[in-house]
């Protein structure tokens, strides 16, 4: 698999380590009444879809960036890749 | 139709005209007492024990393809009970005992072969860990022998003991471990269940669940609605996808695991060898092919095929362990989709929906579990109580902090 790195162009997936569902970017708030249940779901439960999946890959043997890769789990076709940092900083709650 | 040596001789003399198909091919009835989703090893074994041990015969197994088209026909056939943790080891030893009586019980040749399994170690620390594991196995009534390098050289003279990165210092052997013919296991259980009245329905994909007031009423299928107040899901790599239709998110990711077989060779490896440090394990089939594999590819996949980097990794592991393997030619490689759970251990439990039960999370090791998984799931479906060896396999163990993490790597399915 070739991952289209937004800064470096197509890179061999072997240069990356895989973490999993990109929803891991959505860390629950620790100070709400249902925080315990929310964290349990965050750590352990997954949608695990057959089809399009947004997932986190770490460019360990490259520029050490985290990417959100959109990939079809039925065909392994890679549909796109973005910098995870860009996604997080574009959120209203992270804006300063 | 009873199988025996006498029968084989009689058929040979009469032109093999008396053999019958191993099971019927019935149309689905409008409803059953119990419906099992998934006609793999676990679903078929569940149906068999439901009928045989728990007297339930208004049972159907619904399979989306043909019986044995999933992982039961794709695995590398290793059976063993060499686990460490108390939640696991008694269960796998129960399975091993069922394997030992399986062929007589089923009147079917599943080619169960207790040729032993040897896990190699490379450091003092690893030897200590394996000694501890061996002791845990003995405490659970299993068998274990710690072999030093000299003892190992007698059994496996052809290994590369002086690998610079992973010199082989010895191994933990389970003499009662070994292999079984995977298809034979599926066919034997299927025949046994069918003989006792279970309907095995192929080409019948389950496409939805009918749930009313928090209780299961039946399943929607490619062949229409089928009613049942008890439904057991045993769909291996598809657990996440199928349980999503019941609105459940599971502590599971689906991943692809590849396996390989060489051309037939003269008898060479008379046991099972695992080289965990090098991501490689190997045995030899009765046809002579070296059957081997390694790690999962490591990313979510439902594709039933993997990619070349893992082929290379496995081949390198084989070369590091036994350089002569480089002379063998590869015949085939394939992949299967497995439900990797968050702690590497399985789930056999109720769900939040009354009458709906789930059996999954078997990772790359569910073949050896087939008999006990079927027995324990049948126990749960028939009595609504877990079997004594499967009480730890609960869905809520993650929330309660009772994970069964043999490798101790945490909630990273691709590392188990
Ligand atoms: C390459 C490889 C090597 C392995 N090696 C070993 C090994 O050496 N030892 C070991 O112990 N384990 C091994 N395993 C793991 C083992 O094969 C599995 O854990 C085990 O087979 C899973 O249980 P099963 O037999 O019921 O699965 P399956 O045979 O996959 O059964 C599940 C069935 O459910 C059906 N299904 C799915 N969705 C639906 C639906 N919606 N409706 C109806 N039916 C559906 C599927 O078609 C399938 O037939 C290996 C796995 C792989 C892929």
ipTM, two decimals: 0.95
Asked whether residue A95 is assigned to any structural domain, the reply reads no
Give me the residue from A40, A45, A50 closest to B241, CB to CB: A50
| Portion of chain A with pLDDT greater than 70, in percent | 97
In chain B, which residues have pLDDT < 50? none
Looking at residue B27, what DSSP letter applies? P
Residue pair B335/B257 in contact by the 8 Å Cβ criterion: yes
CA distances (Å), origin B393, targets B53, B69, B380: 21, 26, 12
Atom of ligand 1 nearest to the CA of B256: 53
- CB-based contact A20 B398, cutoff 8 Å: no
Give me the residue from A20, A74, A76 closest to B253, CB to CB: A20
Asked whether the predicted pLDDT for residue A96 surpasses 90, the reply is: no
Q: Chain A closest CA to B79's CA: distance in Å?
A: 28
- Which CATH number fits the domain that encloses residue A72? 3.30.2270.10
Q: Chain B closest CA to A95's CA: distance in Å?
A: 31
Q: How confident is the model at residue A94 (pLDDT cuts 50, 70, 90)?
A: low
Asked whether residue A35 is assigned to any structural domain, the reply reads yes
Q: What is the greatest pairwise CA distance in chain B? A: 65
What is the rounded distance in angstroms from the CA atom of residue B126 to the CA atom of residue B221? 50
Asked whether residue A58 is assigned to any structural domain, the reply reads yes
- Report which protein residue has its CA nearest ligand 1's atom 9: B78
Q: Which residues line ligand 1 (CB under 6 A)?
A: B 37-43, 62-65, 69-72, 74-78, 205-206, 234-238, 242, 257-259, 293, 336, 338, 362, 364-368
Q: What is the pLDDT of residue A95?
A: 58
Residue pair B256/B305 in contact by the 8 Å Cβ criterion: yes
Give me the residue from B300, B309, B413 closest to A53, CB to CB: B300
The residue length of chain B stands at 416
Task: Tell me the residue ranges of DSSP E strands in A1-77.
Answer: 2-5, 9-12, 17-21, 52-58, 66-72
Give me the residue from B251, B300, B414 closest to A73, CB to CB: B300
- CB-based contact B254 A37, cutoff 8 Å: no
What is the rounded distance in angstroms from the CA atom of residue B285 to the CA atom of residue B275? 18
Q: Chain B closest CA to A51's CA: distance in Å?
A: 8
Task: Decide: pTM greater than 0.95.
Answer: yes
Asked whether residue A96 is assigned to any structural domain, the reply reads no
pLDDT, tens only, B53-95: 999 999 999 999 999 999 999 999 999 999 999 999 999 999 9
Name the residue in chain A with its Cα closest to that of B340: A48
Asked whether residue A94 is assigned to any structural domain, the reply reads no
Asked whether residue A6 is assigned to any structural domain, the reply reads yes
What is the rounded distance in angstroms from the CA atom of residue A60 to the CA atom of residue B245? 36
Count of domains observed in chain A: 1
Q: Chain A closest CA to B39's CA: distance in Å?
A: 20
Q: Counting Cβ atoms within 10 Å, is residue B344 exposed (0-12), middle (13-18) or buried (19+)? A: buried
Q: What is the pLDDT of residue B208?
A: 98
As given in the structure block, the two tokens for residue B283 are 């045995």
Q: What is the pLDDT of residue A92?
A: 80
- CB-based contact B399 A18, cutoff 8 Å: no
In A, which residues are within 8 Å of B253 by CB distance? 20-21, 46, 48
Please choose, from the candidates B50, B60, B77, B78, the residue with its C-alpha nearest in 3D space to the C-alpha of residue B23. Answer: B60
| Structural domain range at position A76 | 2-89
Asked whether the predicted pLDDT for residue A93 surpasses 90, the reply is: no
Q: What is the pLDDT of residue A91?
A: 86
Q: Which residues of B touch A (CB under 8 A)?
A: 238, 240-241, 244, 249-254, 298-303, 307, 309, 342, 398-399, 411-414
């Amino acid at each position: 698999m070739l991952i289209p790195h937004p800064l470096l162009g197509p890179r061999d997936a072997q240069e990356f380590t895989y973490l999993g569902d990109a929803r891991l970017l959505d860390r629950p708030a620790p100070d709400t009444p249902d925080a315990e249940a929310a964290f349990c779901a965050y750590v352990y439960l997954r949608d695990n879809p057959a089809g399009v999946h947004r997932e986190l890959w770490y460019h360990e043997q490259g520029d050490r960036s985290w990417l959100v890769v959109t990939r079809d789990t039925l065909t392994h076709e890679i549909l796109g890749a973005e910098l995870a940092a860009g996604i997080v900083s574009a959120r209203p709650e992270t804006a300063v | 139709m009873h199988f025996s040596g006498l029968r084989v001789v009689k058929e040979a003399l009469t032109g093999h005209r008396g053999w019958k198909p191993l099971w019927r091919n019935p149309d689905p009835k409008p409803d059953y007492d119990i419906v099992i989703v998934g006609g793999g090893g676990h679903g078929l074994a569940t149906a068999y024990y439901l009928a045989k041990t728990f007297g339930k015969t208004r049972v159907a197994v619904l399979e989306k393809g043909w019986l044995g088209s999933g992982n039961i026909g794709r695995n590398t056939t290793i059976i063993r009970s060499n686990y460490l943790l108390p939640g696991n080891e008694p269960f796998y030893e129960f399975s091993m005992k069922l394997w030992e009586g399986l062929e007589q019980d089923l009147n079917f040749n599943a080619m169960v072969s207790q040729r032993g399994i040897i896990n190699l170690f490379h450091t003092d620390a690893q030897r200590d860990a394996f000694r501890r594991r061996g002791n845990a196995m003995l405490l659970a009534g299993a068998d274990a022998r710690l072999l030093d390098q000299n003892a190992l050289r007698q059994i496996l003279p052809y290994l590369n003991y002086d690998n610079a990165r992973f010199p082989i210092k010895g191994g933990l052997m389970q003499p009662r471990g070994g292999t079984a013919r995977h298809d034979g296991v599926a066919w034997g259980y299927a025949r046994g269940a069918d003989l006792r009245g279970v309907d095995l329905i192929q080409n019948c994909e389950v496409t939805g669940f009918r749930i009313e007031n928090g209780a299961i009423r039946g399943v929607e299928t490619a062949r229409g609605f089928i009613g049942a107040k008890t439904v057991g899901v045993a769909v291996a790599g598809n657990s996440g996808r199928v349980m999503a239709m019941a609105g459940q998110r599971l502590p599971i990711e689906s991943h692809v695991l590849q396996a390989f077989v060489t051309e037939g060779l003269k008898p060479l490896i008379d046991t099972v060898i695992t080289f965990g440090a090098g991501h490689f394990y190997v045995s030899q089939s009765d046809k002579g092919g070296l059957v081997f594999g390694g790690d999962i590819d490591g990313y979510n996949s439902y594709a039933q095929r993997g990619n070349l980097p893992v082929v290379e990794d496995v081949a390198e592991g084989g070369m590091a362990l036994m350089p002569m393997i480089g002379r063998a030619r590869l015949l085939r490689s394939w992949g299967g989709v497995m439900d990797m759970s968050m702690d590497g251990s399985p789930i056999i439990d109720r769900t939040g929906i009354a009458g709906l039960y789930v059996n999954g999370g078997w990772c790359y090791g569910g073949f050896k579990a087939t008999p006990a998984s079927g027995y324990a799931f049948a126990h749960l479906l028939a009595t609504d109580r877990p079997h004594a060896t499967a009480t730890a396999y609960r869905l809520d163990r993650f929330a309660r902090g009772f994970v069964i993490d043999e490798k101790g790597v945490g909630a990273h399915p691709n590392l188990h």
